[in-house]
Amino acid sequence: MLVELSNTPRPYEWGDSHSLATWQGRKQGSQPEAELWLGTHPGSEAQVISKRPNKIPVPLSSWLTQQSFAPELPFLVKIIAPGKPLSIQVHPTKAQAAVGFAREEASSVAWDSLERNYRDRSDKPEVLIAWSHVFDALVGFQHRETAVRTLEAVTELVGDIDSVASAREALAGGIKGLVGWLFSGDESITSLARAMTESFQSRPSINVPSGLYQTWEAVIPVYPGDPGILAASFMNFVRLQEGEALFVPAGIVHAYLGGFGLEVMTPSDNVLRAGLTAKRVDLTGFASVAERIPFTGARLEAKPTGNDGQEFAPLGAPFRIIHWRGASGESLRSQGPSVVVGHTGTSTLTEGTAVYEITAGHAYLWAPESSEATLSGNGSVYVISGKQVSSIPR
């Protein structure tokens, strides 16, 4: 059985105003549309659209219960459209989330309070797949050798001022020492960020490594003088081409800079922020969760399936993503509900005698009624589910 899903895009200020509208084939509005959530998370639960006239949409969790499935999906799908950089952020491990949630519950912090960091007990590993021509992100901290070159570039930009000496002293303790300093709240960080902003605005053609320049070009004009500029400088710039993916495990600091794409994660809203945002910054909580190690393994390679498909199945995440694009047909096997997203074109999902159309700009909930189904057509389709879904080799 395949039913269509709907939801209202989240109007976060960092969203663009055109990507989601263009994908869905509707008129572009004037307000930002940052994310479209497709799942059972109560923060923005998707609705099941009925084909019967005048039938009110049903919350996805209720529909799943009516069909004798568990009321919560073990993953959350988002279509994400950052028009400007997101915050520097990190997500806790499952153990950290359990402790943090219990602590805030005991302190009677309201679930929707701006002071709340932990809204559930889950970790939040996430995958991002680029749909735009390029999608830029910052993921993990640089190795020490690269960080040394970054500090040299910062020095070239602002001169050998006192706050640079503070950064040099921190880096002498390795990446662990550097990260500790970056999120310590020390006044020298703000001083250096302001100096970098002033110098970059007055001499934007400075010769520095391309990834670092692209980072500064993305964040400094939007968040001038923000202490997060420093942390962003020592993170790895990752540019995805269309169809490429990255994976962010718990504890890895990251920030998405711009693009349009598909994001899949566990159904969690636990986020701790440290800069480049108008939202609450909690340096103490952030530092307790962030891994103080280099991380350069963000890119997630796809494995080919039987025909025109490929699979993204990150280690340690309770979900997998199958991307099918072609006309030869792809057989699927699943034991539980999956979210199906029409990326481009038109395709069909055939299950027994039932044939369902999948079109670009639409999302669906596939609740298998038989052991196999087949995708065919000329479109690009993403199937997201728990680990039980698979493509059947031929």
Q: Would you kindly state where each structural domain of the chain is located, as residue ranges?
A: 1-11+45-74+301-394, 145-231
What Rg value do the Cα atoms of the chain yield, rounded? 22
Strand partners, 248: 126
Q: Nearest-CA neighbor of 275 among 104, 33, 90?
A: 90
pLDDT in tens, 167-195: 999 999 999 999 999 999 999 999 999 99
Does the domain formed by 1-11+45-74+301-394 have CATH 1.10.3720.10?
no
| Residue 22 burial class via C-beta count within 10 angstroms: exposed 0-12, middle 13-18, buried 19 and up | middle
> 392: which residues sit within 8 A by CB, 6+ positions away?
306, 331, 332, 333, 372
In the block, residue with structure tokens 């999906």: 73
Residue 394 banded pLDDT, cuts 50, 70, 90: very low
Given a contact cutoff of 8 angstroms between Cβ atoms, the answer to whether 123 and 266 are in contact is yes
pLDDT band (50, 70, 90) for residue 358 = very high
Report yes or no: 333 and 389 within 8 Å, Cβ to Cβ.
Answer: yes
The burial of 276, by beta-carbon neighbours within 10 Å (0-12 exposed, 13-18 middle, 19 or more buried), is given as: buried
Cα–Cα dist 331/234, whole Å:
44
Q: How far is 252 from 247, CA to CA, in rounded Å?
A: 10
Measured CA to CA, the distance from residue 116 to residue 109 in angstroms comes to 6
CA separation for the pair 263, 2 (Å, rounded): 21
Cβ neighbours of residue 79 closer than 8 Å, sequence gap 6 or more: 20, 23, 35, 36, 38, 260, 261, 262, 263, 341, 363
pLDDT at residue 374, as a whole number: 87
311, with CB counted inside 10 A (0-12, 13-18, 19+), is middle
For residue 115, is pLDDT > 90? no
Q: What is the pTM assigned to this prediction?
A: 0.94
Write out pLDDT tens, residues 27-46: 998 899 999 999 999 999 99
Q: Are 252 and 128 in contact (CB under 8 A)?
A: no
pLDDT tens digits along 282-335: 999 999 999 999 999 999 999 988 667 899 999 889 999 999 987 667 788 776
